[in-house]
Structure 1
Amino acid sequence: MGCIGFDQHCRNLEKFMGKPPTHYDVLMKTHGTPESKKIYFEGNHENLEYCSQTAKEAHETYLQGLVNKYGEDPANHKDDVDVWDESQPRRKGKKKGATYRVGASDIHFLVLRTPSSQSA
């Protein structure tokens, strides 16, 4: 996410959007191409491009996980720590270890913006 921390990205997006950002809002802000960020925040969520193939695959597998858990209707989807954790690649292809975009951070904070009971 560069020089700006996750919590600062969330605060900036909340000011810009007038509401708390979703996990995907932050993903697009930090991993979308400049043109995709522009069209995403104008309301167009189709044909977006990412800064890397890994970011694109991370989003696609997360969306598929939400569909598998909550059904096809995006209105029923909500930010879900378990879906993110289960759907994301691990470093160097390992089954255990750091999850993409999480590393050693608290996954509950990164996905839901609330600390887990273990890290509180």
Structure 2
Amino acid sequence: MKSYRDLIVWQKAIDLVCLTYKLSKKFPSEEIYSLTSQIKRSSISIPSNIAEGYGRNSKNDYIRFLQIASGSLYEFQTQLEIANRLHYCTNEEFEKIDTLSHEIEKMLSSLIWKLRKN
């Protein structure tokens, strides 16, 4: 692997960010400084921490940044759930992004486990 860009989990996390930006455009304008901002920041944090951890010179640092990415993902999932309950998105939009987030969650868990094992 030559770059963090080769990681499928990073690629899927970038897809999640793009979907989140498209979705959050539909949120009410009064949410611009609250939920809209929060959900964007938490989504961006996921691939950013994967990339930063990959660039570190230590396996332990890499694992730590992957754990931070996981935390950001859980934060994102919570915010997505709130947006869904407030009817800021359709069930179809929610399911698409939620399914992708759980896929990323499994991939991050697997990557952390494999790094710890080695």
TM-score under structure 1 length normalisation: 0.32
TM-score under structure 2 length normalisation: 0.32
> By percentage of residues, which structure has more helix?
2
Which is bigger in relative contact order (C-alpha 8 A, separation at least 6)? Answer: 2
